[in-house]
Structure 1
Amino acid sequence: MYSVPVSGPTSPSRAERKEQTRQALLGHTLDLSAERGFANVSLREIARATGIVPTAFYRHFASLDELGLALVDDGIRTMRVALREARRVPGPANANDSLPVLFEQVRANRALFRFLYRERYAGPPEMRRAIAAEFDLIERELTVDLSRMHALATWDTGDLELAAGLIVAAVVPAIADFLAAPTPAGEQDVIERVRRQLLLIMLGMGSWRPNRR
C-alpha cells in the first residue's frame, strides 16, 4: 500500500518527493512494528529505515503519535471500503458475492489490517481510543444503512442498532481470524464461517417483530 521513493527517467517534484517519503515512513513503520508493536519502535529506527536523518522526520509528522494515528486513519479508511462490501449483504443470496470481495481487500492490505488489530488492544492509550471510536462509528454508519432498507422501515433505532451490532460482531473478528489463518484453506474456512453467521443473522432479522419485547 505504501510506496518507497524510486528514481526514474523524470525527476519528481518537491511535493511528490515529500509525499513519497511520507509514504515510505508509514510503510517502514508498519514493517518495524510488525514484530514488536508500535510502542516499541523508535523515531530513529523509522528514519534510518527510510533513509533520512531523524530531524527530517518532523517535516512529515509532528510526532510518532501523529504518525501512528495516520496509520490508524489509513487502516480504518481501508476497513470501511472492505466493510462496505459486507453492507451489500441485505439478504442471504448476496453473501456469496460480497464476502470474497471483502476479504480480498483484507488480503491486499494484510500488514495494515494487522497493525490495526494489534494496536487496538496493545497500542498506546491515545491510539486505542482512536481505534475504539472509529469502530463505534462503523457500527453507527451500518445502523444508518440498515435504516434505509425498505424491509426494515418499521424498525426503531434500538432494533437497528442491535442488528448492526450483530453484523459487526460477526465480521470484525472474522477479519482478525482471516489474518491469523496459516493457509489458504484456513482463510476459506473463515469466510465460510462468517457467511453462515451472516446467514443466521439475516434469517433472524426476517423473523424479528420490531417493538415486541
Structure 2
Amino acid sequence: MRRLAFLSASVAIVGLMGGVWYATMGAKGGDQFAQCRSTAIAGGSGQIGGPLTLVNKDGETVTDADFITEPTLLYFGYTFCPDVCPLDTVRNADAVDVLADRGYSVTPVFVTIDPNRDTPQAVGDFAANIHEKMIGLTGSEEQIKAASQTYRTYYKRQPGEDDYYLVDHSTFTYLVLPDHGFVEYFRREVSPDEMATKVACFVDAS
C-alpha cells in the first residue's frame, strides 16, 4: 500500500512538473495568444494581414504604420451600406468604449470597399459620426483591392443605375496589434462586451 501511495504521489508530482514546464517553457515556442483564440485560420494567422497603403480623410496617403499605432479593430465596408455596415461599426465603437472603461485604448478603423463613391470626406464624415476615435480610409481602386486581398476579404459591386447600387462584402472585424499584426477576427454576432473581453485578453498577452 505504501509503495502504491508513493507511486501515485510520484506520478502526480511528475504530472504537475510537466504542466509547469508546458506553461513556462512549452508556451514560449508556441502561440502566445492560444488562451485567447476562439477562431482558427487555415495555415495560421500569418495568412491574413500585412502592409497597407490607403488615403485618409484629409486626402493624404498613409500606411498601416500611420493608423495602426495601438490595438485596432479593422472593418471593411462602405458608407452607402443600408444596414450591415452601420450596425457592425457601431458595435465596434461600443466595444471600444467598453474597453476604455476597463482601461484599454483601442482604435476602430473603417476601410471602404467602394472607392468610387467613398471620397476622403465621405469616409471621414462616416467615421466621425460613428465614434470620435474612428479612422475612415479610402484609396484608389487598386489600393482598395490590395488592402482587401491583404486581409482576405470579399466584395463585389451589384448592378445598379447611376450611384444607386449595393456592394456585397464580407463582414468580419479584424483585431490588429502594432507589434504582432493580425491576431483575431470577430463575426457579426459577437456582442460589444464579448469583443471587449477577447480584445483585452490579446492585449494582456502581447
TM-score (norm 2): 0.27
Higher strand share: 2
| Greater C-alpha Rg | 2
Higher helix share: 1
Query: Comparing both chains, which one has the higher relative contact order based on Cα–Cα distances under 8 Å and sequence gaps of 6 or more?
Result: 2
TM-score by length of 1: 0.26
